[in-house]
Amino acid sequence: MIRRFLEHARRPVLDLDGLWDFAFLGDVAADAVDVGRVRFDDRIAVPGCFDASPRYAGCRGLAAYRRRVPLAPGRRHRLALSGVHHWCRVFADGSLLGEHVGGYTVFGVDIPPGPAAAADLVVLVDNRIDYNRCPLHLEYFDWYHYGGIARGAELHTLPDPWIESLRVATTDLAAREIEVTLRYGSEAGGAASLELAIQGRPVLRERLKLEAGGGSLTRRLRIEGAEPWSPRSPRLYALSVSLGDDDLVERVGVREVRVEGRDLLLNGEPLRLLGFNRHDAHPQFGCGLPEALLAADVQILQDLGANFVRGSHYPQDPRLLDLCDEAGLLVWSEAIGWQHTTAHLADPRFVDAQLLDIREMIDSAANHPSVILWGLLNESASHEPACRAGYQRLIGEIRRLDPTRPVTFASNHWRDDLMFDLADVISINTYPGWYVGELEALPSELDRVIERLERPDVSGKPAILSEIGAGAVPGWRDQNRTRWSEEYQAALLEAVIRHVFVDTERFMGLAIWQFCDGRTSQLAERVLRRPRAFNNKGVADEYRRPKLAYDVVRRMYRELAAQGCAAASAPRTGPGSRDARAGSPGGLV
């Protein structure tokens, strides 16, 4: 399933997770493949990544997935796919239905009404790096690009009319008022009933006249007595919408996020974000993580005392966002990107692919109350005047699609960034004590960043230290406490948290790089700086086994959370929590 709950009680939806017929075709062009003649000689799991399995480890090429599905003759069907990496072409009984560029997002491909009662769905999936065909996944990025149908698949039988999309936003927190915008499809239009219910209780009933070809409608309603959503009380309400014979269930968190001066306010309370950067990655699952692992990652983040996670560096799995909604974990969701250049920002193909990624990210993630920030273009050339038009275009699209959330981008050009005026929140990536300077100089290096944040162009905005950290090869303990040792990483992160949250107060948030280790690119110039061909800056290894730094960060984050910082999550100390075993955390200072 694409979400953690059933989105439809009436619309027929077939969950296509499970084993699909599979064939790895290798270095062939998709145009040269006759999908009706592919010899499917294997089976592979969806969700998942074929190149995370031993048999296809490290393979790059074209792969074919096949699944025979029942159809309702005469009805329109939609194949919903989540996270296909990272280019695909979709067929039904050999007829081309469509193709898609970019992994990490949810998209649909329609099967037009016809007489057939069943069909062979074939998805050609390609994990080769090809800028001309897919400019979003590039080899130099500092993470490994797996291939597959990574996050799930469903087959929807659409009634007429059908619900195309649903957007929910809090419009008046005090009045507990939400705005519901529904886009619908309809072949011929005509009369249809509309009903909205909250927690099963009808709150709106109307008889509508729908436009032929489809349209949209917006309604506002109050959830009387609703408890606002927050990290301490992540209260969700089921909103059921039915239109004609179709329906859709969404979960609503009534909450408001906005910038006020140097604060990021959640329901009027200033936030202090205690967080991590997290990649979707695991050695055995690639970027196609089972729900149980997503749930475990959220539990670990809570155990660490975190209330915030940056989904670096791409749109997040809807199942993870559902888990964050339930846990009260705050999320920075960003479009895919990594150190893009002026050439990329000047290339219409790149900008168009970015616009698609942004649109699909927001369509899929905008209803999640846990998502409090939109980001894009991680560490790209925001110090180059030639990139301004690109930044304006992409940030403008984010604001057009969702004016309710603040926008930011992680800059590694804090000295000479030219785009800070376009962001609501200033986010800085910097690695003193790792890439530059020694650990002893870290506080003074951060003070230079803070001085920059006092300059008039940014002094009135919230600031997040969106990346900082050090590598530690798992298990490497070193009496010399040198770089790559667990001791060095623990000492550096202690210095970071102390300087950011005890010695100074300019940053309202910190996202440590990173939650856990993850495989990176196999490019020689990358690997030579990445022991094991992994990014080793996790406070845990790739199997989520804690390093020395884990308990250091956990103690300090929990202490900060316990100091009652606004809206910080209450770390779960349920049975079996590490507190029960490790004793209460020592003092921060």
* Residues near ligand ADA (CB under 6 A): 142, 312-313, 378-379, 429, 467, 513, 535, 537
Closest approach, Cβ 488 to ligand ADA, in A, equals 15
Closest approach, Cβ 225 to ligand ADA, in A, equals 43
Q: Are 322 and 2 in contact (CB under 8 A)?
A: no
Closest approach, Cβ 89 to ligand ADA, in A, equals 30
Cβ closer to ligand ADA: 90 or 492? 492
Sequence-ordered list of residues with C-beta below 8 angstroms from that of 223, at least 6 positions apart, any chain: 176, 178, 198, 237, 252, 254
Cβ closer to ligand ADA: 303 or 379? 379
**Quick one: how far is CA 20 from the chain centroid?**
26
Closest approach, Cβ 313 to ligand ADA, in A, equals 6
H-run or E-run covering 334? strand 330-334
Cβ closer to ligand ADA: 160 or 517? 517
Cβ closer to ligand ADA: 152 or 375? 375
Length of the chain (residues) = 589
Q: Are 142 and 107 in contact (CB under 8 A)?
A: no
Query: No. of H helices and E strands in the chain?
Result: 10, 30
Closest approach, Cβ 529 to ligand ADA, in A, equals 8
CA–CA dist 74, 157 (Å, integer): 10
Residue 447 buriedness (CB in 10 A; 0-12 / 13-18 / 19+): middle
Cβ closer to ligand ADA: 142 or 154? 142
Q: Are 287 and 581 in contact (CB under 8 A)?
A: no
Cβ closer to ligand ADA: 281 or 366? 281
Cβ closer to ligand ADA: 146 or 513? 513
Cβ closer to ligand ADA: 248 or 495? 495
CA–CA dist 295, 479 (Å, integer): 36
Cβ closer to ligand ADA: 67 or 313? 313
CA–CA dist 301, 537 (Å, integer): 16
For 200-269, the DSSP string reads TEEEEEEEEEEPTT-EEEEEEEE-TTPPPP-SS----EEEEEEETTEEEEEEE----EEEETTEEEETTE
Whether the link from the prior residue into 161 is cis, omega within 30° of 0, is: yes
Closest approach, Cβ 152 to ligand ADA, in A, equals 25
Phi-psi category of residue 443: left, alpha or beta, with phi > 0 → left and psi -120 to 50 → alpha: alpha
H-run or E-run covering 119? strand 118-126
Cβ closer to ligand ADA: 4 or 448? 448
Nearest to 313 by CA among 456, 476, 481, 520: 520
Closest approach, Cβ 62 to ligand ADA, in A, equals 28
Distances in whole angstroms, Cα of residue 379 to Cα of each of 102, 307, 316, 411: 19, 24, 19, 5
Closest approach, Cβ 530 to ligand ADA, in A, equals 8
Closest approach, Cβ 415 to ligand ADA, in A, equals 16
CA–CA dist 588, 556 (Å, integer): 6
Closest approach, Cβ 481 to ligand ADA, in A, equals 20
How many Cα neighbours within 13 Å face the side chain of 20?
31
From the CA atom positions of the chain, what is the Rg in Å?
A: 24
CA–CA dist 460, 420 (Å, integer): 11
Closest approach, Cβ 312 to ligand ADA, in A, equals 6
In the chain, what is the straight-line distance between the N-terminal and C-terminal CA atoms, in Å?
Answer: 46
Angle at 132 between CA 131 and CA 134, to 5 degrees: 60
Cβ closer to ligand ADA: 375 or 462? 375
CA–CA dist 319, 290 (Å, integer): 10
Closest approach, Cβ 541 to ligand ADA, in A, equals 15
Closest approach, Cβ 142 to ligand ADA, in A, equals 3
Cβ closer to ligand ADA: 288 or 471? 471
Residue at 113: amino acid letter: P
Closest approach, Cβ 527 to ligand ADA, in A, equals 13
Sequence-ordered list of residues with C-beta below 8 angstroms from that of 321, at least 6 positions apart, any chain: 331, 333, 365, 368, 370, 371
Cβ closer to ligand ADA: 53 or 536? 536
Closest approach, Cβ 524 to ligand ADA, in A, equals 16
Cβ closer to ligand ADA: 50 or 434? 434
CA–CA dist 88, 35 (Å, integer): 13
Cβ closer to ligand ADA: 267 or 466? 466
Position closest to ligand ADA via CB: 142
